[in-house]
Amino acid sequence: MDYELIFYVSGIALAVSAVLVSFLGLRVSRFPGKAAPVVVLWFVVLIGMSTTFSVLHSKHEEEHHEDEVGLPAATEESEAEEAE
């Protein structure tokens, strides 16, 4: 799987989980009760996945775009040659 896909899936799961937990918290008076450690662990895992794969994806993109760093300099040189 690609880092980008895992990042988006974990981010969407985090957002959906937040909405569901908020809804349950507003509707059920005893929520989370004994399930609090499970809820906290679930959010810690999702936050950890989201941050980890966002960093990995950004590093992968940075390596991918390193080849394009020489493009602006080459463009400036060609424009200078055309101006002469």
Identify the pLDDT of residue 69: 59
Q: How far apart are CA 8 and CA 3, in angstroms?
A: 9
Q: Minimal CA–CA distance to 50: which of 16, 17, 4?
A: 4
Is pTM beyond 0.75? Reply is no
Identify the pLDDT of residue 13: 97
Q: What is the DSSP code (8-state) at residue 84?
A: -
Identify the pLDDT of residue 67: 61
21-75: per-residue pLDDT in tens? Answer: 999 999 999 999 999 999 999 999 999 999 999 999 888 777 766 666 555 666 6
